[in-house]
Structure 1
């Protein structure tokens, strides 16, 4: 049986929620991510995208390109509330829902006795009715093509990609549209004259494997319409982390340790809520010249208490030579597991820093 996969992506989610909650913002270039020049764009409205604004762009650059833009801080609790309402709709249609992020998901409707187009129109209608937002939807027989379809004619788009369209419909697309090809791989391919999918189709599978490593065969298959990945109705986070861009560049270790403490508490809360434990703790810093560095430590057992995360994080920070000012610091826990049995802890929880800061 051919699979029927739908990919749903909420259009400009954060910015659309802000415009919905404040009608005065409709039709205006809304940029969500903060008002400080030191932040980055989380997302922006389509009006702002006309100025070349995009996610991860530094706020100071966005302000130069769109001086009359409306810059807003993120409201994660509000976005989560709206997201939960949308996902409740997805789960009312099928149990096979795979969340990709707060604003997008795959749905496998193969076993439903319904036309995929009708399901897509129903989702669009209900999301608009319940939240006032629009979604773009892709429909196909695998995840790669469904995802490609949802991005085809945003916003409020709908694209069906069938097997008989392959590979002709893919040939003119830039190679960055191929799932599995990141910026570095695309740059390498561009250097040898590979810019569009039609160029990729001329490359033998052996060459792609040699050139791209283990992902080469996946890329080879996908551009020919083959993708065997299934929609999973459970998705374990790969990592949980927090980071912040500082108001002023600094290498004050005491201040940075305080931030690590706050991050550890927040991460611990998230881990416990999801019944997760982690073994790898990572500190990320970005220097004043935007140069990024990470340092990780993998411990012998799974942890999720803030004291343990804090202690490892502070120890890692103390191993970093902070001879230059930094503008951003982050903490994350990865190598996660749903483990429900803890071994005796080898940590000495009398760690002075974490214990003393418990009162903060």
Structure 2
């Protein structure tokens, strides 16, 4: 990649970061299936070791389901202060190679190393050097993807996990994308992947074969993004000043829901998914929005902003429950629900209060 005029982007992704930190710090956990989280009835897995992943244990999985899949699973309470400290060590290493660092969470980031500050022969060599220094400084392994844009670099970092790296060169990008399942593409979630499958789109090649008009008809404003990534095109810069404005999760049900209890359960499941992200990134927002799409495709949202950040899973669940109850009972079936947290800011411990459930403006 050293002779290419293209940008040189590295996506660094720590291997099972939270769980690996716990295994590093407690030798008794090494080689055993570990989940970071709580084995409570309403708990969710924040992270899982590779030993646990072999049983199908993944982040955001309900704890009861995780234990069903892996009865020997060991739950370890999260220590976010430790994870943040290790993350700072890693980012100090990144800063020796470039100023263009875009963190995605505590355990992954994009780096634009086109300027080659360290004078290494290739971007491949740069990624290898970064990974070696991370291992030396933290005792943890990282994987890396190297390419000429962010989309391909992120895909590539999964290719040789754990503790490996993979490069997608300008000459191979478009052809390589064609071979991959669309479910691996950033921006194609489980619901969209299922819809694509129904439309006969299983791989990058299938996606590339669809016209922009077809994609617009079926996927609206996302059509151009899907058209571009199916060709390995992504012009987004590595933005060190990027601030995430919201985090959300939604799901479309196999059948329209009518019962209040099952609708509430669906909303709480999405709230738990969002909380997993908030806890993982230590980003806490003050605004909660619940989205509902009825069986006749009418779409409504209910939103509430609180005076202080929502800093617990219980508080997010309570806020989401209040919002969904504002549209219940309903005579129409509900086909989709979603929960979003926004209005992020630095969490002020001094302002920590029990969230009021009434009195705020509801939109």
Please give the TM-score of this superposition, normalised by the length of structure 1.
Answer: 0.71
Deviation at 1:190, TM superposition (A): 0.6
Q: Name the structure 2 match of 1:152.
A: 159
Whole-Å separation in 2 of the counterparts to 1:201 and 1:64: 40
Residues 97 and 106 in structure 1, CA contact (< 8 A), matched pair in contact too: yes
Whole-Å separation in 2 of the counterparts to 1:318 and 1:221: 37
- How has the CA–CA distance of structure 1 residues 333 and 67 changed in structure 2, closer, same or farther, with 3 Å as cutoff? closer
Q: Name the structure 2 match of 1:38.
A: 42
What is the DSSP-based 3-state SS (H/G/I as helix, E as strand, rest coil) of the residue aligned with 2:171?
helix
Whole-Å separation in 2 of the counterparts to 1:333 and 1:207: 32
What is the DSSP-based 3-state SS (H/G/I as helix, E as strand, rest coil) of the residue aligned with 1:60?
helix
Structure 1 consecutive aligned stretches of length 4 or more whose deviation exceeds 6 Å: none
What are structure 2's unaligned runs of at least 5 residues? 249-260, 262-274, 292-299, 310-314, 330-338, 347-355, 358-363
Matched, 1:96 2:100: yes
Instruction: Compare 121-130 and 232-241 and name the one that shifted more.
Output: 232-241
Whole-Å separation in 1 of the counterparts to 2:81 and 2:247: 17
1:123 aligned to which of 122, 130, 142: 130
What is the DSSP-based 3-state SS (H/G/I as helix, E as strand, rest coil) of the residue aligned with 2:102?
strand
What is the DSSP-based 3-state SS (H/G/I as helix, E as strand, rest coil) of the residue aligned with 1:61?
helix
Deviation at 1:200, TM superposition (A): 1.2
The Cα RMSD (Å) is 3.7
Residues 152 and 173 in structure 2, CA contact (< 8 A), matched pair in contact too: no
- How has the CA–CA distance of structure 1 residues 203 and 323 changed in structure 2, closer, same or farther, with 3 Å as cutoff? closer
Between the two proteins, the alignment pairs up a number of residues equal to 291
Whole-Å separation in 1 of the counterparts to 2:112 and 2:52: 33
Matched, 1:57 2:32: no
Whole-Å separation in 2 of the counterparts to 1:336 and 1:63: 33
Residues 4 and 108 in structure 1, CA contact (< 8 A), matched pair in contact too: yes
Deviation at 1:183, TM superposition (A): 1.6
Q: Name the structure 2 match of 1:74.
A: 78
Deviation at 1:321, TM superposition (A): 5.2
Please give the TM-score of this superposition, normalised by the length of structure 2.
Answer: 0.71
Residues 163 and 225 in structure 1, CA contact (< 8 A), matched pair in contact too: no
- How has the CA–CA distance of structure 1 residues 67 and 95 changed in structure 2, closer, same or farther, with 3 Å as cutoff? same
What is the DSSP-based 3-state SS (H/G/I as helix, E as strand, rest coil) of the residue aligned with 1:118?
helix
For the pair shown, which has the larger CA radius of gyration, 1 or 2? 1
Deviation at 1:172, TM superposition (A): 2.4
Residues 102 and 109 in structure 2, CA contact (< 8 A), matched pair in contact too: yes
Residues 289 and 341 in structure 2, CA contact (< 8 A), matched pair in contact too: no
What are structure 1's unaligned runs of at least 5 residues? 242-248, 250-262, 286-292, 325-330, 339-352, 355-360
Whole-Å separation in 2 of the counterparts to 1:296 and 1:240: 14
- How has the CA–CA distance of structure 1 residues 76 and 232 changed in structure 2, closer, same or farther, with 3 Å as cutoff? same
Deviation at 1:295, TM superposition (A): 3.4
Instruction: Compare 190-199 and 102-111 and name the one that shifted more.
Output: 190-199
Whole-Å separation in 1 of the counterparts to 2:110 and 2:10: 6
- How has the CA–CA distance of structure 1 residues 207 and 97 changed in structure 2, closer, same or farther, with 3 Å as cutoff? same
- How has the CA–CA distance of structure 1 residues 140 and 66 changed in structure 2, closer, same or farther, with 3 Å as cutoff? same
Whole-Å separation in 2 of the counterparts to 1:319 and 1:191: 30
The C-alpha deviation readout for 1:103-142, integer Å capped at 9, x for no partner, is 0000001111432111111111111011111001000000
2:197 aligned to which of 190, 194, 218: 190
